[in-house]
């Protein structure tokens, strides 16, 4: 550690000059970075002003603001990436995420809430075309029907993510809109509690989503997604509609696939009418009969565990829910929870005992698959639909068993091929 000295000539009480030597210790690294953070926040004033934020609000809410370097999904110089692997949707296998005990509890509670808010839910469905169970399932998954207290100061979270997050441009705008929420009187700073990713309210909206989709359904003159259940559920319905929700269409159908199913076609781009899937040997579970109108609807094959575990024919509405939270496991949880509020039946096919590879191993797979032209999406360590299909294509090429699942066997093969 290097030290510095400052030499100054100062007058003492008698008027004589004295030489004063001050030892200067180096600032810790975080202090320097916090100074840069303050400068960064200050630089955002013109953008905030452009969004209608007053100078008084900006100064008050940013005074003494400090970054939270313990948040996930940050890129900090000289430190390991904190990365989004802390999101359960992306590091757990289905059996761990879609737990029977949680589903049963939330479904029972959802049935009670459906009765309690029946008038509002009927009105929301009539206006937006989104069924009550879907909206209640989103509420249940996001905040446990409001019982889960969001732990973070939203302004601090969004400011930190805008400064050192992986998606700085996105969060720069969200931070400014958070200030606008406070400035417009939509919520107080104390009331703006969020997740680590900056989502707020009973049904978890980012500030931009509030301004795009929030609804005053209870008629009190406020779009209160933090305390008004009708407002929060109607706002969730509006968001789904704005993302393309189709009235009268299920989210997905569980099916038994034919024995020779090619799991590499399980991508959103491969769609065809349900009647064609049925003609190809996909059979709805438990003898479920599909109407002529249902069979005319388009669907894609979804196999969350490759050839293991349940298989689904996912409709347009499946992908609309996925726009709410970009995770197959999230949609499966929400969709199945909605079904469980109507029928107590679990998935017909149980989840397998598959294990989840480490994020860095899935990233290594994605990089190799990209190099050889089988994958063209994000390198994010998440084994989504496109990654699973690319793995299946690699397995075909390498002469491995084609199961479209990121296993140790595939990892070893890729490591040997590099």
Residues 110-149: pLDDT tens digits?
Answer: 999 999 999 999 999 999 999 999 999 999 999 999 999 9
Range scoring the smallest mean pLDDT among 47-56, 88-97, 348-357, 398-407: 88-97
Q: Which residues contact 402 (CB under 8 A, 6 or more apart)?
A: 262, 263, 264, 307, 392, 395, 396
Instruction: Give the CB-side neighbour count of residue 64, counting CA atoms within 13 A.
Output: 1
The span from the CA of 370 to the CA of 359, in Å, is 16
Q: What is the DSSP code (8-state) at residue 231?
A: H
Domains of the chain: 252-314 (no CATH), 359-417 (1.10.101)
Strand partners, 22: 6
What is the pLDDT confidence band of residue 86, given thresholds at 50, 70 and 90? very low
Residues 257-266: pLDDT tens digits?
Answer: 999 999 999 9
Greater pLDDT, 78 or 296: 296
Select from 110, 98, 114, 137 the least CA-distant residue to 346.
98
What is the pLDDT confidence band of residue 176, given thresholds at 50, 70 and 90? very high
User: For residue 270, what pLDDT is reported?
Assistant: 96
User: For residue 285, what pLDDT is reported?
Assistant: 97
Does residue 404 carry a pLDDT above 90?
A: yes
**Nearest 5°: phi and psi at 224?**
-105, 90
Q: Which H or E run contains 300?
A: strand 298-302
Residues 302-332: pLDDT tens digits?
Answer: 999 999 999 999 999 999 999 999 889 999 9
What is the pLDDT confidence band of residue 91, given thresholds at 50, 70 and 90? low
The span from the CA of 253 to the CA of 75, in Å, is 40
Pairing mode, if any, of strands 4-11 and 252-256? unpaired
Q: Which H or E run contains 19?
A: strand 17-24
């Amino acid at each position: 550690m290097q030290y510095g000295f400052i030499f100054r000539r100062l007058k003492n009480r008698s008027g004589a000059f004295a030489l004063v030597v001050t030892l200067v210790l180096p600032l810790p690294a975080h202090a320097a970075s916090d100074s840069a953070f303050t400068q960064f926040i200050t630089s955002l004033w013109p953008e905030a002003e452009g969004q209608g934020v007053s100078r008084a609000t900006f100064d008050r809410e940013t005074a003494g603001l400090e970054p939270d370097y313990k948040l996930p999904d940050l890129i900090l110089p000289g430190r390991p990436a904190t990365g989004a692997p802390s999101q359960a949707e992306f590091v757990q296998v289905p059996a761990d995420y879609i737990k029977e005990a949680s589903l049963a509890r939330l479904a029972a509670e959802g049935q009670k809430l459906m009765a309690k808010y029946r008038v509002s839910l009927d009105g929301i469905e009539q206006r937006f075309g989104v069924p009550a169970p879907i909206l209640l399932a989103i509420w249940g998954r996001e905040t446990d029907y409001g019982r889960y207290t969001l732990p973070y100061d939203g302004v601090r979270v969004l400011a930190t993510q805008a400064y050192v997050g992986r998606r700085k441009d996105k969060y720069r705008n969200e931070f400014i809109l958070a200030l606008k929420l406070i400035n417009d009187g939509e919520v107080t700073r104390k009331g703006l509690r969020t997740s680590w990713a900056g989502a707020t309210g009973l049904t978890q909206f980012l500030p931009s989503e509030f301004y795009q989709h929030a609804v005053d359904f209870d008629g009190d003159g406020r779009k209160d997604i933090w305390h008004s259940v009708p407002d929060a559920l109607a706002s969730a319905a509006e968001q789904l509609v704005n993302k393309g929700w189709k009235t009268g269409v299920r989210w997905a159908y569980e099916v038994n696939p034919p024995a020779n199913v090619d799991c590499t076609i399980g991508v959103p781009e491969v769609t065809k009418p349900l009647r064609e899937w049925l003609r190809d040997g996909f059979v709805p579970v438990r003898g479920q009969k599909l109407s002529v109108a249902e069979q005319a609807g388009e669907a894609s094959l979804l196999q969350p565990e490759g050839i293991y575990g349940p298989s689904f024919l996912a409709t347009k509405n499946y992908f609309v829910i996925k726009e709410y939270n970009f995770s197959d496991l999230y949609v499966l949880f929400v969709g199945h929870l909605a079904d469980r509020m109507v029928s107590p039946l679990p998935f017909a096919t149980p989840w397998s005992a598959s294990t989840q590879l480490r994020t860095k191993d899935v990233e290594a797979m994605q990089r190799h698959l990209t190099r050889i032209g089988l994958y063209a999406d994000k390198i994010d360590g998440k084994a989504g639909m496109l990654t699973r299909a690319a793995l299946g294509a690699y397995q075909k090429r390498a002469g491995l068993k084609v199961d479209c699942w990121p296993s140790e066997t595939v990892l070893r093969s890729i490591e040997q091929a590099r």
